[in-house]
Amino acid sequence: MKKTLLVTGLMLAGLCHQTAIAAEAKVSWGDPKKFFDIEAVGDKQDRFEQRVMDELTAYIGELAEKLPADHQFTITINDLDLTGRVEPVFVDTGMRYQRVVDEISYPMIKFTYSYTDANGQVIQEGEERIKDLGSIITRREIMRSSRDNVYFEKQLLRDWFKDNFKEYF
């Protein structure tokens, strides 16, 4: 019994160690008040901004985990234009707002980044303005986006990582 617990403990420690050896991501944000469009719908503006930033920060961390151990990916988001546009909707109780998603309301993210190795040597760095102008939005994507406020922005980031770090994706 003691041996089983010891082996299980060592296995768990090994799993924890494996997760810790992925590349580190450092994400910082510019002033959301200056972003092109991070307008809240059905929520307090500050709380919505924080949730969007937290979700995208976590997702960038997930993407960076695919990069080699001891490397570091640093990114500063300088501007964000969420998919869709906020429009008024008239209902029985008056007017409210909702985010309308269509083919002409694409996401855009502007950022600077740096990717360094274990010695701090810069492997890659730059300033990017990524956007998705032409993807056809399917009904399935609309349904997914209704459960994830930043679904299309995550797709945009995933595609950028795949294009820029092909050997790891």
Which one, of 114, 94, 100, lies nearest residue 37 by Cα? 100
Q: What is the pLDDT of residue 17?
A: 39
For residue 100, the cross-strand partners are 85
Residue 114, pLDDT > 60, answer yes
User: Which tokens hold the place of 15?
Assistant: 């799993």
For residue 57, the cross-strand partners are none
pTM: 0.77
**What is the bridge-based pairing of β-strands 122-131 and 72-81?**
unpaired
Q: How far lies 10's CA from each of 26, 59, 93, 144, in Å? A: 29, 29, 60, 39
Question: pLDDT class for 48, splitting at 50, 70, 90?
Answer: confident
Give the rounded percent of residues in the chain with a pLDDT score beyond 70.
75
The DSSP annotation for 37-69 comes to B---SSS-HHHHHHHHHHHHHHHHHHHHTTSPT
First to last CA, the chain: 41
What letter does residue 134 receive in the DSSP assignment? Answer: S
Question: pLDDT class for 9, splitting at 50, 70, 90?
Answer: very low
User: Which tokens hold the place of 151?
Assistant: 């679904």
Least confident interval from 16-30, 58-72, 102-116: 16-30
